[in-house]
Amino acid sequence: MFFSTSCKIMKKVLLPGSIMISILVPSYWIQLYGKVAPFGAGYLK
């Protein structure tokens, strides 16, 4: 219920911000994160 009532400004900032970050970040950063994330999550491949 937190996001549905009181944080409309936050929602209006976070959604476009996350979309812009996903567009502007170089693809090798995303690939690097994909390789490192399993270790942070506790999974080892």
**DSSP assigned state of 25:** S
Q: Which residue has the higher pLDDT, 18 or 7?
A: 18
Model confidence over 13-32: pLDDT tens digits?
Answer: 889 988 998 899 888 888 89
Q: Write down the pLDDT at residue 45.
A: 54
Burial class (CB in 10 A: 0-12, 13-18, 19+), 39: exposed
pTM value?
Answer: 0.46
The amino acid at 20: M
